[in-house]
Structure 1
Amino acid sequence: MTTLVKTTSLAASLLLLSGCSGLSNLGTPTKPKVDETVEVIDSKSIKSIADITSIAFEWKKVEDPKVVGYNFYRANMHKDGRRLKLIKSLDNRYTTHFVDTKLQPNTKYVYQISSKAMNGSESNTTTAYVTQTAARALPVSFAQGISDLPNRIKLVWRPHPDLRIRYYEIQKFDTGLNKWKLLKRIDGRLNAEYIDDRLGNNKVYKYRITALTYEDVATQPTEVITAKTKPLPIGAQNFQATVNQPKKIVLTWEPSPTEDVLKYSIHRSLFESLGFSKVKEVSKDTLSVTDKIDSDGKTYYYKVFAIDKDHLRSSDKIDSRMGMTLNKPAKPVITLAQIQGSKAILNWSTGDKRAMSYNVYKTTEVSFFESKTEKFTDIKGLRFEDNNIINGVQYKYSIQSNDEYGLMSEKTDDAELILPKIKN
């Protein structure tokens, strides 16, 4: 060990004041009882090593049998000026090492040491010994926040070159409380990365990094590191759903303008604003989906979400689009149902412009308990004549529309006709 700072003329003046301003008991001001016959530590034997907040001393022990220990006096030359005070009393003459701790970094201190006798007196002090604590380690020299990551921000920094550094503290600015809060402690000088996850989308966050020594002495924090999380992809554009297709709803859209979209997710619900569940996923090159539904006039509500390479899904805050399968055509309206001569005549008007043809159902009452029904299909006009009827038998006729997709309307109400029996 070697002396860090040599004695100066200022230190000598401090020495002259120590005899009347020192403290013989810790925290108790009193004039030291000096016995000039007690051996003094050799000032030239004092050596020291300084750290950021501590200074270690070594000296040559005295041989005087009256000595039972040593008193250390200290002054902070930046704050105390010439007022030395007793900081430590060692109770063993054979002790030759002492570490003064909890000091201020980069601060000059002056020390004087006396030998402590058995009767409570002490020797003259050594000449003033001036030394200085080491400066704080420099701040982390490079730190960066990586933006545009999904729900997270990655912090990277250059490992601190100072071997005294033991760990790092990551602080994050709390906008709600308007203050910095400790986020994470990263142990190990060579560790130089931290990922803050579970964050909001498209949000700006602020961080700073402080390095700390084995003695928990902190460097100055880095400049504020600002980074932003990745925004959600933009959803599908110009989304449409059909309302006029039989047994199906066709969904079409234009692609999302977000470049890294990989697929689209189609969700469906019976309700306009809740209860949506996924029905299908398609690749980014697919811009149309057919939802096959075995029901006529069935209504569903749809949303199409874009999903990017990081599995982020476009916002839920979009309006749904209603789709509906084609309804059955309206049933025709019977305008005439009568017996003319020996045949049944039915006339009707179309109930729906979609009607392409008609079905006529003829039900014959065979007996009180039995009937049979015949179906006449592909009738193009609005009139039906039935020559195949028997006197005295009751017939029931109903009519049904067919559209171009084969959808059939409900049947009309039965029209009841009977050809009267011929009287003898």
Structure 2
Amino acid sequence: MNGIFVSRISRIAAAGLFLAASCGSSQKVDRGEMLMPDGYKDVKATIYVSPVASQRIYQKVAVLPFKAPTDLIGSSISDLFATALLKTNKYNLVERSQMEQVLGEQALGLKGVTESAVAIRVGKMLGVQGVIVGTVPEYGSKASGASELSAIGINARMIDVSDGGVVWSVSDSAISPSPIGLSSFAKRMVDNLVSQLFQEAIKAGDTVAANLPVPQIASSRGGVRSVFIQVVPDSPEAVESYTVLRGRTESGSYQEVGKVENSSRNVSFEDRNLLDAETYHYKVVGRNRSGMTTVPSQPVRVTTVGPPDAVTGLSAQSGLIRKVILQWQASFDPNVKGYNVYRRTSGDTWAKIKTLDGQSRASYTDEGLDDEKAYTYRIAAFNVVETESPPSRTAAATTKGPPSPVTGLKAASGEARKVSLSWNPVNEPEVKGYAVYRASHESGPFEMIKSIEGREQTQFEDGGKKGYFSEEASLSDETRYYYKLRAVNVVDVESPDSRRAIAVTKPVPTPVTGIRTGEKEVKRITVEWEPNPESDIAKYEIFRGEDPASTNKNVGEVSASTYRFVDKDLKDGSTHHYRLRAVDKDGLIGKFSIVVQSSTKPLPKNPQGIKAVFDGGQVLVSWKPNPEPDIVKYAVSQKGFMFWDKAGEASGPSFAFRGEVKKGKTLTFRVTAVDGTGLESEPSEEISLVIP
């Protein structure tokens, strides 16, 4: 026989106790055949479970009367067997009355059916999947000392009506350990046999119990690579847990994919890691605390969610500075987690540039792009497991190029160390200002000298720029400068160059001309000159030096309407050198004039050849006449105790002293010459005379 045999012997009972004793006979008990107290549940019967038992479901089963020494015994044991089976909830049993009716109509009796062929025939008439038949080879008592002990032997098997195969079989013989009625001992023995049978059946995988409530799938729905199954919960007393089975076809094989405890409130299961847009079939099997399982539920067909639908309404905005704004219709699919943005330029492959989280996202700004360049975009939605939708339709955009060139650039010439620039505004909203470039030569190089903020600004005064140590570095005088402008947008992209503008700065005043000086003036020198030809002269500056190379001392300045300067408080007979320069109203300083020279009038020479004689009672002082033609007088001084005292004046080269004259007294004189301007010479040599 092709099957699984489970053969175990109780702790004391010997194997092979198929007793042939007649009903009610009494024999001497062999202690090795006795079932010990409390050992009813420990008797190990010979059990066989067919491999097909776990592969087929026997919902409806008929228990035929067992063949026994008497019909009553056979019916009684079969009834006990049916009652024990009902307690397991494994089979739905046909009522005896139903069997009698069907078989009576076919003129078949129910007395001790054992042949498989007959069992199959009966089973088909009853509409069952299995028929249980059995024999009771022993049903009586044995003497044990003064006591009578019960002795029973039972063989049972279930036959598959579809093919006549044995689904399972169980057999055992036992003797009661103490005096007990046959019916009571039979019940205990049958309960023990059935319990062991179904423990072994469970081990062999035959767990389906037809009387357990068949699970009802309340709802099912497909998710993203997942399926949600909800079961109507049964009483936890009847069903402890549920096993979820999955198959790819309704009639194909099913595999266990999960278990869930019966909470009697919410029994649900999520099957994950499935394929997108695939159809699956599910059944649910309940299991009780004994390990018996229910008949599988009716299968349900569920299809997982496929990739999101393609994004619609994609648009790309052109004409923006180094960026493109994308917009699209947000997906209404609750499984959408976000969007992937793809971009390509001419000739390039598609590249993912951004992942955006959020189902409701409907726009994106692609920044940091090149100027005046075309870009193409497409969008793909993705769900919670990163599955992408088909790509959207493409949308193309071109970024804005540089601003338009500046027009109307003008540069004003003739300004003092500066150039005023003006131009027309560039009326483009993205322009934020202008960059001013300057060069000293037409061929360049041009240097940016100023960044001007504000699109509406249209003027700039170039006054040079700060040099090192914060000293002002102005533009040079009478110098040609070249200018160009560029408009600048908000990302500092500059426009092409404007047309160039040229300006020449204002020249400094020309050197002062016509300089002349007075001659031989007393203690001063007068300088005169011709007025400068410039109309905006503010003043003239006069510089003096003691030699032509050092005329650096500014000794004065006069207004533009004055062409004469008197240098006063000079030394007599001193020579000085002068040069001048004009300064205009803008502060431009002209070049120096030529250097001129002049001298102040010198003092008369001190008188020479002084003599003193005493003659005729008076002292006569004489000297040589001075060579200067403008000598108007001579001053004669007499030496006193501490100072020189004025003795008198003379218009000619002699002087008669009329002071006190005493014999033996020494008189000392000296003489100075005075010209017509009042200049007085240094004193002559002293002359002394002793009065005789």
TM-score (normalizing by structure 1): 0.76
Question: Contact conserved, 2:570 with 2:600, CA < 8 A, in 1?
Answer: no
- Pair 118,360 (structure 1): closer, same or farther in 2 beyond 3 Å: closer
- Counterpart in the other structure of 1:169: 435
2:529 is aligned, of 244, 253, 267, to 253
- Counterpart in the other structure of 1:216: 492
- Counterpart in the other structure of 2:676: 404
Superposition pairs of residues 34-45 of structure 1, within 5 angstroms: 37-42=307-312, 45=313
CA distance in 2, matches of 1:120, 1:360: 127
**Superposed displacement of residue 335, structure 1:** 5.8
1:69 is aligned, of 320, 323, 338, to 338
CA distance in 2, matches of 1:85, 1:64: 25
1:49 and 2:298 equivalent? no
SS in 2 for 1:201: coil
- Counterpart in the other structure of 2:666: 394
- Counterpart in the other structure of 2:589: 313
**Superposed displacement of residue 189, structure 1:** 0.9
- Counterpart in the other structure of 2:401: 135
CA distance in 1, matches of 2:307, 2:599: 112
Question: Contact conserved, 2:521 with 2:601, CA < 8 A, in 1?
Answer: yes
User: Which is further off, 407-416 or 62-71?
Assistant: 62-71
SS in 1 for 2:329: coil
**When you count strand as a share of all residues, which structure comes out higher?**
1
- Pair 369,277 (structure 1): closer, same or farther in 2 beyond 3 Å: closer
**When you count helix as a share of all residues, which structure comes out higher?**
2
1:239 and 2:515 equivalent? yes
SS in 1 for 2:676: coil
**Superposed displacement of residue 388, structure 1:** 7.2
**Superposed displacement of residue 274, structure 1:** 6.8
**Superposed displacement of residue 106, structure 1:** 2.5
- Pair 370,46 (structure 1): closer, same or farther in 2 beyond 3 Å: closer
1:150 and 2:425 equivalent? no
Q: Percent same amino acid among aligned pairs?
A: 24
1:128-154 CA-to-partner distances (Å, cap 9, x unmatched) read: 323322333211112222232223222
Question: Contact conserved, 1:263 with 1:282, CA < 8 A, in 2?
Answer: yes
CA distance in 2, matches of 1:311, 1:370: 57
- Pair 337,201 (structure 1): closer, same or farther in 2 beyond 3 Å: farther
Q: Counterpart of 1:132 in structure 2: which amino acid?
A: T
SS in 2 for 1:46: strand
- Counterpart in the other structure of 2:234: none
- Counterpart in the other structure of 1:276: 553
User: Which of the two has higher C-alpha Rg?
Assistant: 2
- Counterpart in the other structure of 1:287: 563
**Superposed displacement of residue 229, structure 1:** 2.7
CA distance in 1, matches of 2:642, 2:514: 60
Question: Contact conserved, 2:539 with 2:582, CA < 8 A, in 1?
Answer: yes
- Counterpart in the other structure of 1:374: 647
Q: State the structure with bigger RCO (CA 8 A, min sep 6), 1 or 2.
A: 1
**Superposed displacement of residue 174, structure 1:** 8.4
SS in 2 for 1:210: strand
Question: Contact conserved, 2:611 with 2:687, CA < 8 A, in 1?
Answer: no
User: Which is further off, 103-112 or 332-341?
Assistant: 332-341
CA distance in 1, matches of 2:642, 2:327: 125
**Superposed displacement of residue 273, structure 1:** 2.6
Question: Contact conserved, 1:354 with 1:404, CA < 8 A, in 2?
Answer: no
**Superposed displacement of residue 245, structure 1:** 0.3
2:361 is aligned, of 75, 84, 95, to 95
CA distance in 1, matches of 2:494, 2:570: 71
**Superposed displacement of residue 73, structure 1:** 1.9
Q: Counterpart of 2:333 in structure 1: which amino acid?
A: D
**Superposed displacement of residue 337, structure 1:** 4.1
1:155-212 CA-to-partner distances (Å, cap 9, x unmatched) read: 222121112211222234489xx85544332221111122232414314444432222
User: Which is further off, 99-108 or 352-361?
Assistant: 352-361
SS in 2 for 1:158: coil
1:353 and 2:628 equivalent? yes
Question: Contact conserved, 2:544 with 2:551, CA < 8 A, in 1?
Answer: no
Q: Counterpart of 2:349 in structure 1: which amino acid?
A: R
**Superposed displacement of residue 97, structure 1:** 0.8
CA distance in 2, matches of 1:372, 1:285: 50
1:315-353 CA-to-partner distances (Å, cap 9, x unmatched) read: 4x6665454422211112116544455554544334443
**Superposed displacement of residue 275, structure 1:** 6.2
SS in 2 for 1:110: strand
SS in 2 for 1:162: coil
- Pair 234,372 (structure 1): closer, same or farther in 2 beyond 3 Å: closer
- Pair 340,109 (structure 1): closer, same or farther in 2 beyond 3 Å: same
Cα RMSD of the aligned pairs, angstroms, is: 3.3
Q: Counterpart of 2:676 in structure 1: which amino acid?
A: E
Q: Counterpart of 1:289 in structure 2: which amino acid?
A: F
- Counterpart in the other structure of 1:332: 607
- Pair 40,335 (structure 1): closer, same or farther in 2 beyond 3 Å: same
CA distance in 1, matches of 2:559, 2:491: 57
